[in-house]
Amino acid sequence: MGYYCKLATFIVSMNLILGSLVALVLCAILLSKPNFHGARFKEGVCEMTTREVDVDSAPLIRCDCGKDQKSICSTYYPCITVEGVYYADSTDVPGVPGTFHSDYSAVSEQCFGVPTCTPDFVSNKELVQWYWEETFHRVKDQQYFQCWGYDGAMYFSMHYSLSKAYMGIFIPLCFLVLGIAIGICYWRLC
C-alpha cells in the first residue's frame, strides 16, 4: 500500500510541479515581459508629425508564418515609421520626439505595427496599411490627443498593466507551491 501511495503522490506532485514550471516560463515570456515593459509608459498628450506614409517604399521586415513544423514559411511585411511628439505634462513645455507603435512587438521591431504574419506578402502589406489608416483617421483632426510614452516610444492606447504582469508570475507560482505542498504532505501520510 505504501509503495503505490508514494508512487501516486510522486506522479501527481511532479505533474503539478512540471506543469507549473512550464506555465511560469510561458507566462513570464508571453504575458509578464510585455506588461512590465508597457507599464513604464506614462499617460500624456501626443502630436502626430507624420501625415502620410508610403507602404510601398517602407523597408521590409522578415517574419515566419505557419502553424506547424511542416508548413513553416518565411515572408515579409513593410515596416512603416510614424513619428510624433510626446508631452508628459503640458504642451507648453518641449516634448520628446519619438515614434508610435501598436504594441510591444512593434516596439521591439521599431515599426508602427507588426501584422499577424501570413504567407501572402500582399495581405501583410494590406494589414499594415489598414492599421495605419484606421489609426490616422482616429486622430487626424486633432492636433493633440491622449497617448502613453516612454523613452521615445509612444502608444495610442494602453492595454498593459503591472497587475497583469504580476498575475503572470503569481498564478503559476501558486500552482508550483501547491504541487510541492501536496507532494510533501501526502508523502508523509503514505
pLDDT in tens, 133-150: 888 877 877 888 889 999
CB atoms within 10 A of CB 148: 21
At position 10, the amino acid (one-letter code) is F
Instruction: Tell whether the model's pLDDT for residue 68 goes beyond 70.
Output: no
Quote the CA–CA distance of 22 and 41 in Å, as a whole number: 29
Indicate the pairing of strand 153-155 with strand 96-101. parallel
81-121 pLDDT, tens digit each = 989 999 987 767 788 999 998 888 888 888 888 888 888 88
Q: Quick one: cell of 42?
A: 506614462
Residue 12 and residue 149 in contact, taking contact as beta carbons nearer than 8 Å: no
- The per-residue pLDDT for 119 is 83
Residue 158 and residue 148 in contact, taking contact as beta carbons nearer than 8 Å: yes
Q: Helix or strand or coil: residue 163?
A: helix
